[in-house]
Structure 1
Amino acid sequence: MTVQTYTNVSGHRLHFQLAGEGETLLLIHGSLCDYRYWRWQLPALSQNHQVVAPSLRGYWPEAFTTEDDTFSIAQHSRDLQTLIQELSPDRPVHVLGHSRGAHVALDLACRAPELTRSLILADPGFRFEGEAETTPSHSQAVDRLKRGEVDDALADFIDNVSGPGTWRQMVGWFKTMVKDNAYTLLSQIRETNLAVSLDRASGLQCPVLLIGGANSPARYGSRLDILEQALAQASRVTIPLASHGMNLGNAKAFNLAVARFLDQATS
């Protein structure tokens, strides 16, 4: 695995890990993460594919520490579109997004279907158009960040998305990564209640895999339920013994599910 930097993204640098050869699989991390999040996926999935794991704009190693207008789902999607055109100019790529990264992945697939060979959405948390707006689940975390209570803020956020007590059980490298990206929440809070058009999503023609954690909070499963009904070409798997961070909690089952889907999508 190598770490590389691509600088031709509207003057911004994108840092990414690259491993393997073959058709390209793009891994898109979620909130408070970066390319380090995929540490158990790159070795396994790069055996048969070229795997690209970028840190999205504003995340470590150049993490935003203040609110920034260039931090958005749409901007991240456009950045990745540029990166794909650079790394795989002649062939569409497989796209996998987790949590907030699933929102980026879906936007990318809808924005540039010609670049998307297949799409994998793991525990998306977005709101669909027509659903009621809600109070931001991470508003308390943002308030604590602004008061300098970083550890408490991160505990609030991680426990909210993965279940009570999750932050306390996290290993050291994961906590370091999350702390490195803590202040991205100041920008992320601005996209609260950003809605996804189900009509737009249902126009996708590529193969789609929906992945959920068996122990993930119910709100993620409800997103997968709606997508499964709307996308005739979608298949779905549940990762046992895992919550929201299923690619870490049960990496073996997650990697196997992804590998099997990619084999089917390319056959």
Structure 2
Amino acid sequence: MDQHPECYTIGSGIPVVLLHSSMSSKEQWGKLMDVLQEKYQVIAIDLYGYGVSPLPPNGFEFTLLQEAERIQTIIKQFIGDVKFHLLGHSYGAATALRFAYDHQEQLLSLSLYEPVAFHLLAKDDPALLVIVKLAEQIKQAVDCGDLSTGTRIFVDFWSGGGTYANIHMERQRSLNRYIQKVLLDFQAGIYEPLTIDDYARLQLPTCLIAGRKSPPSTRKIVENIARTLPQLEMHWIDGGHMAPITHAATVNRIWVDFLANISTTAICP
């Protein structure tokens, strides 16, 4: 495995770029990389503020576009102008969607698991108001210096009550250090100015996956995207928002099959 401080790359072939969820890192993709490396060059990147990547330099002026443009810079270093498949989960999926809007010509396909593109919810949607309140609760804890409470609120919302308490203390401390970037992720996802109509311009083969047990916010976002993107295949699974980790075999199989079908279609006359 070739390694750059903020990236892993392994395998050879058509590139597949992987973007992880909030409060995670490139390490999230170990199982998927093991499968994909047989046919693809796989590039897993630490998003801003995760793994060994630094926090963004502009603090609370941070945007989803800035996250996406950093990805563009890193990808250029690895593969230049070669076209690639882009795959993301949660915040990584929201970043992938934003990247695709500006760099569609570089992409062969888009694979998304529940993008937290909260800007695609109506301003008065109760599902969005729940997310805004969640972010406010986390910020209040962080502003008081209580990183563990902020992290607990975040983890338990997405993974179920009591999840954080059942995590080993050393792992809790590791997660706590990410909570300040989590707040920036919320900011980027909520206040991104693009609309669902903007994303309708994406003429890319797209695989969208969601869990039936996920919160209403991400299920509604997925439904909005599914109604809008013209070249989309939709998959619902019996999992939650963190299914790429908790139900990795199921999710990875869908992604692997999708990429294989895209490759087959591309070489057929």
Q: Size of the alignment, in residue pairs?
A: 257
> Higher helix proportion, which one?
2
CA RMSD of aligned residues (A): 2.4
1:250 aligns with 2:247: yes
Indicate the residue corresponding to 1:37 in structure 2.
28
Specify every segment of 5 or more residues in structure 1 that has no aligned partner in the other structure, as ranges.
6-14
Specify every segment of 5 or more residues in structure 2 that has no aligned partner in the other structure, as ranges.
265-269
**What is the rounded CA distance, in whole Å, between the counterparts of 2:48 and 2:121 in structure 1?**
29
1:25 aligns with 2:16: yes
Cα gap change, 1:258/1:249 in structure 2, threshold over 3 Å: closer, same or farther?
same
Cα gap change, 1:213/1:186 in structure 2, threshold over 3 Å: closer, same or farther?
closer
Q: Name the % identity.
A: 24
Cα gap change, 1:161/1:21 in structure 2, threshold over 3 Å: closer, same or farther?
same
Shift of 1:39: 2.6
**What is the rounded CA distance, in whole Å, between the counterparts of 2:165 and 2:231 in structure 1?**
39
Q: Which amino acid aligns with 1:206?
A: L
Indicate the residue corresponding to 2:219 in structure 1.
221
Indicate the residue corresponding to 1:231 in structure 2.
229
Shift of 1:92: 1.1
Are the equivalent residues in 2 in contact too, given 1:18–1:53 (CA < 8 A)? yes
Question: Which structure 2 residues correspond to residues 1-267 of structure 1 after superposition, within 5 A?
Answer: 1-5=1-5, 15-64=6-55, 68-69=59-60, 71-128=62-119, 131-132=122-123, 134=129, 135-170=132-167, 175=172, 177-191=174-188, 193-195=190-192, 196-240=194-238, 242-267=239-264
Secondary structure at the counterpart of residue 108 of structure 2: strand
Are the equivalent residues in 2 in contact too, given 1:163–1:217 (CA < 8 A)? no
Secondary structure at the counterpart of residue 154 of structure 1: helix
Q: Which amino acid aligns with 1:233?
A: Q
> Higher strand proportion, which one?
1
Are the equivalent residues in 2 in contact too, given 1:96–1:121 (CA < 8 A)? yes
- Structure 1, residues 236-259: CA drift from partner, whole Å, max 9, x if none? 11233x211111101111111100
- Structure 1, residues 57-93: CA drift from partner, whole Å, max 9, x if none? 2323244399725743111111111222222224211
Are the equivalent residues in 1 in contact too, given 2:11–2:38 (CA < 8 A)? yes
Secondary structure at the counterpart of residue 64 of structure 1: coil
**What is the rounded CA distance, in whole Å, between the counterparts of 2:202 and 2:100 in structure 1?**
8
Secondary structure at the counterpart of residue 8 of structure 2: strand
Secondary structure at the counterpart of residue 86 of structure 2: strand
